Structure 1
Amino acid sequence: MKLSGNTLLITGGGSGIGRGLAAEFHARGNTVIIAGRRASVLEETAAAFPGMKTMVLDIEDGATIPAFTEKLLAAYPGLNGVLHIAGIMRNEDLTADPVSLVDAEATIATNLLGPIRLNAALLPHLIRQQQATILTVTSGLAFLPLALTPTYSASKAAIHAYSQALRYQLRETGVQVIELAPPYVQTELMGERQAKDPMAMPLADYLAETMQLLEAQPDAEEILVERVHRQRFAERNGEHATFFKMFNDMTYAARAAEVKAMKAR
């Protein structure tokens, strides 16, 4: 992937990793269009980076994607890249009676069907470009799941498989498919606590290392910061079962302590 001179759509570009990568690409001389559900958040981000463009998109609602794509390509016919950052992550209790599917269905619609639908709409245009890039976003949890967020973890594993298949199908075109697999990062994906969690990777550090990897490895299929390697390669290294139990035992213990502290207040 070339890091300048592109016209890039970034979904979920108003906050967190999306906002951070939008700023990085904007600073490198790309035309950046950030998209998301909340116009106010998008406008606030664009105001901080003069020249950045905004478009409202509810990625969960597939019915809106054809009209959005038509408007996008009419305004930016030089579009040659899309970054699928938009996503949601919610705790789910699979032992509840009854089990609610509301969060699971919203997660699949946003995290999995959203990128699939948007790619389907954009690919005819991207394939016609001399050079184009699709960046998907998975997670370390695609390879070693968090039991508290089963559907989120499953959606990211699915995007990993989808990215591999898409890359193969596009092998004779000028479209490059790159998968970003972040570790646990200080964003508000799961609320304010995550943004301040010392156990999470500082957002600025994640952005810096990611951009360094993109620059150093322009033909990379996966962009993996050092912090996510243990999750990504747990299966290969023969520690998946042990690491999975340790990781989830620790997470559940921390969650139980938080609930107890909240009840004591």
Structure 2
Amino acid sequence: MFLLVVFAAMLLTSCNKDDSNPVEPNGNGGGSNTNPSGQPIPAISGSSDGVMATISYEMETLPGFPAAAISLGFAQFGQGVDAGNVTVNGNTLGKTTQGGSTFYITPSPSNPTQMLTGVSFDGSNHSWQVSGGNGIPALNGSVQSPRSFTVSNPTNNATVSKASGINVNWNNPSSSSRVLIVLAPLNNSNQYYTAEDLADNGNFTIPAGDINDFSGDAMLQVVKYNYVDVSTGGKNYYIISEVVKSVMIKIN
């Protein structure tokens, strides 16, 4: 029951457009509030006409309880146009329209119990097909997923000093993946720090000078990702697979 409640909360969060999830399909990145997946998605350099992403999200919960984990499929095209049917590894994503903008997500607000099947984050391929429509051509492509990992420092609910920067460590480094780090205070200040396209070498220090104004409770997210660029009809689309690990910390 506890995990079902957590999953429901995570889904509601994923469908709430929030500045702590800063990246949007058109590649503009930080500061945007147009990523309705609810998870940080890297803003790959260059212009993009759409993004398709498989996301493994894991959040540490209460001491003594296992981490809450869920897998998402998400896609958005152009400025939120309907691109027909969208599938990943045989899963047809739910289509949602809000404020005249369409995006695709599974689990979806209309079907929160529908889960992705046949989508693993173990180096396997995630294959996409889009039927096309409204200026979006039919397209397909695949990306190899990154492998899961753990964040070893800081630990969940740790109190950390920002005086010398915040050292972040994770395991299972890989030369084939890249890393995105997001630090978002939970004081409703709409501040956040992001570092993108980092080497997946197992460590990174968030510079003290970049977080001078941060204090109190915050969420730290470490994202491993792989991506491919699909070019068709004179447009570019990115297929991304990512593993997101979140821990809560207190910044002094």
Is TM > 0.5 for Structure 1 vs Structure 2?
Answer: no
Structure showing greater Rg: 1
Q: Which structure carries more strand by proportion?
A: 2
Greater share of helix residues, 1 or 2?
Answer: 1
TM-score (norm 2): 0.31
